[in-house]
Each structure stands twice: as structure tokens, then as C-alpha cells.
Amino acid sequence: MRRRVDECLSTMRKEWMQSNDVALIQSFPRLEEGVWTETGAERVSYVQLYQWHQELLGVLKDKEKEEQERTVVVGINLTPFSMEETAMMLLVAEQRRWIYVALDVQLPVARQLALLQSSEAQCLVTTVDSPLATYLVDKAGEAVKMEIVDDEMSPFLPVQVGTPLSTFFSTGLEEAACDTDCRQRYDQSIDAPMYILFTSGTTGKAKRVLGSRRGAWTRLVWMWNMYPFATLKDGKSSERVLRATRLSFVDSVWEILGAFLQRVPLVHVQPPRHQGEGIRHCSTTSVVLDDSTRFLKVIQREHVTRFTAVPSVLDVFLLQTTEIERKSCLAGLRYVLSSGESLPFQVLRRLTASSPSVTILNLYGKFFAYLLQSTTWSHY
């Protein structure tokens, strides 16, 4: 197992270096050591992550061979904030010619289809009871093959992989999905793309944003240098990052890769995980607001040091909790990353009143900006 893990790690390093022209993973976590994510009751090791990745690769690699020179776009349609969603994002990130597009399971099926077609996704990874998968099978029949990946010994819940989606969209069965002028071919002339995100569409039609590996790397290095993770004498990280950002938001790139590549455990707040519970029963709207009391307890119990939230969520969070609760539970918090909206001064003032030692990073506007510009308010 150690040799296989080292070979996998070596491949991941080489592919990231080729994509970014930079030695990305000098401190990449060794896959057979430590814990990559925690859910309170469950601890998932790098070995378990590696094994799950190998099972999925056995299915997805066949599609990559069919595409030959084309980049493979993978739709990720899994339970929000789940271990499976995080692990799938990491799997796509390690494959140099793969791109992921996040499809929120809480969106209407018609909207999910539109995003799939607009991004020209060839593969879909979704839950076993996915309404989107059911729709595809009902409409396309044998044109789309769904295969379930399930290992009873794995901590990961079963998922199903659907291919080839291009067959479904080319048949004309789904005419309402998206205008044909939205389509784009992703070839190697693009600067090593890694993900496709969509704007909210508040100013009209939602627009696609293609994120490159080079851009992701730039953000990672900037954060690692400016706000490095604290380490213990044995070299292990003393920090923990809370997975609190939807995969369809750009902040999830830093939240997941920033922690994983620095060997920092990711803490997942999840509902009870039973095989019989699907996305209808396990869906989380907001890690912070669904149960603010539980959120505080998780931060305190798991010694979380960083989390990300938009200002409006922080505002409601401050209303739902008392200053006494925040002072007690957020004592070990080091950073709060505020993004997606402008940060009102009153929210900043109320948050720092209960957590005076926290550093709040105001990263508003980076999704639309070519260069990341940020301001920092530090309170000591």
C-alpha cells in the first residue's frame, strides 16, 4: 500500500507542476498519514481517501480515454458540505485535464441541466437517489449509463457516476437546458482550467467563470505566505479549517485545497449519515445558520481556527447567538474570511467585540476581479 500511495502522490505532484509551472506540493500531505477530514464522530485518513479515489478513477478514466485530446468536464452533484463532495473536488483537482462544475442539489432539476449543458460536462457524479440522475435516465434511457460506486468498508457513502452526458444533450431531448451559443470547447490552449463556476445572475443571465490552476495556485500561495497555518514542534498543523463554503462558490477552492495541501484537517458539519438517507433528508442550507448553537459547539469541540462566511450570514449569526456564547466558543478562532458581499462596519464591530483576537479578512469582489485585492482588519 505504501508504494502505491507514494506513486499516486508522485503523479499528483507532477501533474500539478505541469499545470502551474511551479512546484506546487512541497508540503503536500503524505496520503498514508494523519487525518484529512473530521466529522466529530468519524475520522477519515488519507489512505481511505486514496482508496475511494481509486474506485472512482476506475469508472471515470474510461471516459477520459474516449475523449482523447479533449478536456473532461465532470459535474459534481453531491450533498453540500459532505465528505464525498470534498473528496470528489480533490480527485478532479489532481487530474491535469479534468475540470469540475459544481451543481447545487437544491437547485431545480431544470437549472441543474442548464448548468450541465452550458459547461459541456461529459460525466456526472451524484448521489444514489439524485433527482437529476433519475431525470437523465428517464429521458435518455440507455444513452446515459449510471454506475454505482459503493464500498461497504469505506467511510464514504455510495455515489453514482453517469456517462456519457454528451450523448444525452446531442439527442435534442433536452431543449430547455441552454442556448447553443453558451457552449464552449475546452482545449489545451486555455491556461490549465480546473473549475467552472457560475455567477448569481442578479444582473441578468448567469455567466460562466472558468478558473485556472494557475489562478488557484496564486491564491493558495498568497494565503499561505500572508496568513500561514500555525504548526507544532513536530511539524504538524495546530489548526483546523471548517468546511463552510458551497462548492459552487470560489472560496471553496481555498477552503479545501488551502487546508489539504498544507496537511490541515478539514472539519465537516454534517447531518446524521445513514445509507437510507438521501439528499432530500441530508441537505444543509448553511453550515453557520442552520443550527448556530451546534455550529459554535463544533468550533469549540473540534478546535476550529478558520472559517469562511458572507457578511449577511455573519450578521444573522450574530443575531442568533449571544456575546457570552461567542466569547466562550470562539476563543480559539484565529481567522474569519468574509467574502461575497461588502462587509458592513457594524458587523465587523459586533464580531470583534466578542472575539477581539480574531483576524477578519475582507475579500469582497475577488470573483469578478482579474486580480485579487483585499483589505485586512486585525484586532489584537
Question: Would the pLDDT of 277 be above 50?
Answer: no
Strand order in the sheet with 241-243: 43-45, 35-38, 266-268, 241-243, 306-309, 335-338, 359-362, 375-378
Question: Would the pLDDT of 372 be above 60?
Answer: no
User: What pLDDT, on the 0 to 100 scale, is given for residue 316?
Assistant: 96
Let me know: does 18 contact 94? Beta carbons within 8 Å: no
Using one digit for the tens of pLDDT, what is the confidence trace for 163-173?
877 666 664 44
Higher pLDDT, 177 or 154: 154
CA separation for the pair 147, 61 (Å, rounded): 13
Average pLDDT over residues 69-96: 88
Whether the full predicted model's pTM is greater than 0.85, yes or no, is no
Query: 359 CB contacts (<8 Å, ≥6 apart)?
Result: 227, 334, 335, 336, 376, 377, 378, 379
User: What pLDDT, on the 0 to 100 scale, is given for residue 228?
Assistant: 95
Q: Which domains does the chain have, with CATH numbers?
A: 59-212 (3.40.50), 214-378 (3.40.50.980)
Which segment of 226-230, 251-255, 300-304, 366-370 scores lowest on mean pLDDT?
A: 366-370
Query: 62 CB contacts (<8 Å, ≥6 apart)?
Result: 163
Average pLDDT over residues 370-375: 38
Q: What's the grid cell of residue 23? A: 512546484
Using one digit for the tens of pLDDT, what is the confidence trace for 169-200?
664 444 434 443 444 455 544 567 899 998 87
